[in-house]
A and B are shown apart, each in its own frame.
Chain A
Amino acid sequence: MKKLILFGPVFLIIVILAVWFIDGMGDVVQPIQYNHFVHVQEEEIECLECHQYAEDYARASIPNIDECADCHDESELEDEEEMTSDEDIIRQEMKRQEKKILFAYMAQNKKIPWRQVNNVPNYAYFSHRRHVKLGGIECVECHGDTGKQTTPIVRPHETRSMAWCMDCHEKENVSNDCYACHH
């Protein structure tokens, strides 16, 4: 009995810690604090402008320095913006810091090592073309309203379990034969 009293709190702490760790297990750290909100909502860029292969290929692709360079170049750092509040100043400074990281990659002609979070295991064939072009599914249906997110993507919007796939396939009357997707 005495022992139990002693170990009780220790056990509880372990459980709490474990929950905390397991919960955050999937989160990845992105190299740049990318802000979808600024790009999608403020600059009104369409998803397909950057994720340009979503309609025609299996992978939508994550844009890298080449695509970034279409809009960004180092002269931006000199641009003075009107800043009214402290909050603005902090926000601008954070933006500048992130841009500096981007320009460092561009200067070295090195790929940004984005961590891919929306990943399908290699034993399943997932094709964006099949879903976007043929199925006519909107990006938000699977990826959520990413455009409103101000922090980088560190975990997928959906769990992407097989059951999740199959539920939708059933609803849409698409084949659920294993060999429709597995290979």
Chain B
Amino acid sequence: MEISRRDFLRLLGISTAGVAAGSVGCNTIWSVPDEVVEKIGGAPRRESWKTSVCSLCPSGCGIKVRLIDGIPVRILGNSINPVNRNGLCPMGETGIEALFNPNRIKHPLKRVGSRGENKWEKVSWDEAIQSIVTRLQSLREKSEPHKMAFWSSQGNNLQSGLIEQFTTAFGSPNFFQFDDNNVAKLATRITLGHEKQLAYNFENIDLLINFGGDFLDAGPAPVRFNQIYAEIRNRENGQQAKIIHIDSRLSRTATNSDEFIAVKPGTMAALALGVANVLINDGQYDDEFIAKNSFGFFDWQSKEGKSFNGFKHFIEREYYPEKVAKITGVTASQIVDLARKLSAAKSALVLSGGQASASTNGLYTSWAIECLNALKGNFKENSPISLAPHPPFAEIQEVQMDGIATKGLARTGLSQAAGDFCFAEYSVSNIPDAISQQNPVEILFLANANPVFNAINQAGFTKALSEIPFIVSFSSFMDESNAFADLILPDHVYLEKHEIVHSIPMIDFAHFSVQQPVIEPLFDTRHPGDVIIQIAQKIGGTVASSLPWVGYKEYLQDRVKGIYETGTGLPFSEEGDEKWLKYLKERGWQIFEFTNFKEFWQVLLEKGGWWDPFPQQMDFNNVFATPSRKFEFFSQLLEKEIQSHVQTDAISSDNIAAVLAKLKIAAPGDMAFIPHYEIPHFDDGDGRFDLHLLPFNLITNVNGMGNNMPLAQEMFGMLTREYWNSWLEINPETAHEKGISEGDFVKVTSSRGSLTVRAKLLPTTMPGTICIPFGLGRINGATSKRVGVNPYSLLVEKYDHLRGIPSLISTKVSVKKANGREAV
């Protein structure tokens, strides 16, 4: 028998692993994993950098990835990307953990167990795609293309354009995006008459009033807003600016402001209108703008000769400071003070977000707040507000539709079917019911949409997903929704694929960032774009000819060619360069010089993207697409929508009161078409629940998007020292009343359910409210399964009464110190 030295040592029970992998004898006591030792040995350690875009959340921060011998080891902000200028958020830092995560889905999977059981079997790509194509073809043969639905998240990239092209060519009206931006889209529809978004310039303002927008922790661009806030607070003498924050919770955005005004949950509209009242009484509003570019401010007469009271009349009558003080809990003198500060400011900006739009009166509230910008005359040239510009991408070639597609598209989409709201296009409220009842879906595609985890009607979506016969998911990781899938076609993670992220909300210059693979795909995964194109090709006919690209990268290049051809803007350049370039451009120099598209594309990959630092002056006369072509204090559009509701609901058109009642609008008659304070609806379980639940987001794990990275969990509550865990914020005063002390386990109960979570006594919480962060409480997905709690599981199904957007602050709860067993 031959025995080597090594075998002998092994027999003696001495591990040779350290010797073998490490150096000779040197680090045998050094118990570092073998992979690390191997990595640290070996290759020359050549350092290289690649630019890309972070796609962990939709904010589209530019990144540059440090590679050592071709392996990504660190992600930093791209210093020349104007969206985030060198900054990154904690979640973005952890991105590499997503790439190398052992819980990634490594190849296509077919469900073998029952739904939700999580039993899967490996299938080949060809087999998986063929099975989808067969099903899709049979839908078209039966002339039922509307029974295919596609749900995705994040609308800031070009993938959504491709998906829309596909669903339209196929003939399905059921492409739905779970996009945070949907909230804003409807707000501008009322104020501007279209869904184009507003953008803001903070450079020259001296006052920022923020109604509830938690811009430093949640979307739309937290890194950018951290920079903007720091910049505003650090202006040198003479240019100092103040930030006033209005909210029901002292969020990190609030604590970084100069002044904080606490309002009762859901009453921001009243406060905004109270401020408007003071401005009107003081005569401190932009007369010229109001006279020329607004509609419905003063009393007016319709064409039919009917006379109406104007906005001014209502505000003067209804929203005097003393009354508003009673509603909001803000004192009358504070309201007057706020209004005086606004009128004294040379250039002021009023923003809204977060809680402002998360109540049942959300749309009225955003509109009321926007009225302050109108009174300040911000909707004109050289004001801090402009229309968000878009990069001039080439239009996608026109979609070709055959008879089947045309018929399918004519059907009512799942979300439009919601009858209880004026603007239901972006409402998720009706989707589960629609699936169960009138509008069955046979094939559902999920692209990173996870409604079972983060929709307000979790239970409805769970039921709906279990009723859909065939679900295909394109995720890289297991989650709550794709547990219901029949087929999982794993996506690359963002560091392995091409994408273009563009037009981040609220940014006032046109820009897009290019995501490129920094490493070859580690596993047998594919880009959903490539898969969709392949499926379309296999279906054939007009579907195939509508998506003629070889792959997703070619599609992206086709779109970017539009920019190359127009020759506007330029690839990202060093900070400060734009001033120099602007100088040159004004003097007629050619800034954009590329001899061919390939060269342009190469520079884009190298620099990370494109922007247009020379924005066109906005002609605000063409901005308003409202019926009056002006800023409407009396919304004729809303009036029209409500009128049309009258007709569909077979209630006689003079009985507008009945319609308003059905839409749950309390304001009488014409007041419904004017921004006003609707009393918010809260679910208090018939008086059983006494505390407002105000859930919030954290920059470390916005909406649970960082759930697959262990480090993002560890950093989850770094400021409150709650790592890997959720917590409940409660005011010490309220806690004392309830007999709760710091660190106690507390049982939180709402009409929907209950959960147990540890209490933190924080003075940042308003008495009478509790706050729980979103993000944790996963029930599927390996990294953070059973870590923390998910406040969505407490939220009662309440929606904005006009637009059907989930109302996240309308749930009331009770808290009680948990007994020992509940705590475990």
Contacts and interface: CB of A to CB of B under 8 A. Distances in A.
A21 B45 CA distance: 34
Interface stretch (B32-40, B290-298, B449-457): B32-40
Given A26-B25, A121-B22, A122-B36, A21 B44 contact: no
Interface string B310-334: 0000000000000000000000000
A21 B26 contact: no
A58 B44 contact: yes
B23 A117 contact: yes
A146 to B, nearest CB: 16
A119 to B, nearest CB: 3
Interface string B175-208: 0000000000000000000000000000000000
Contacts, number: 63
B22 A26 contact: no
B1 interface: no
B30 interface: yes
A156 interface: yes
A20 B22 CA distance: 21
Interface in B33-70: 36-37, 40-46
B550 interface: no
Contacts of A118: 23
Nearest to B46: A57
A24 interface: yes
A160 interface: yes
A122 B37 contact: yes
Interface residues of A, number: 26
Contacts of A21: 5, 8-9
Interface string A7-38: 00000000000001100111110000000000
A126 to B, nearest CB: 10
Interface string A116-135: 11111111000000000000
B44 A25 contact: no
Nearest to A123: B30
Contact of B24 (A20, A122, A123, A155): A155
B37 to A, nearest CB: 7
B5 A121 contact: no
A57 B45 contact: yes
Contact of B41 (A27, A28, A119, A160): A119
B27 interface: yes
A103 interface: no
Contacts of A117: 23-24
Contacts of A58: 44-45
Interface string A54-75: 0001111110000000000000
A105 interface: no
Contacts of A60: 44
Given A26-B19, A121-B30, A122-B30, 7 more contacts: A21-B5, A25-B19, A61-B42, A61-B44, A62-B42, A116-B23, A117-B23
The 5 closest A-B pairs by CB, nearest first: A119-B23, A26-B24, A53-B44, A57-B44, A61-B44
Interface of A: 20-21, 24-28, 53, 57-62, 115-123, 155-156, 160
11 contacts: A20-B5, A25-B9, A25-B24, A53-B44, A58-B45, A115-B20, A116-B42, A117-B24, A118-B23, A119-B26, A121-B30
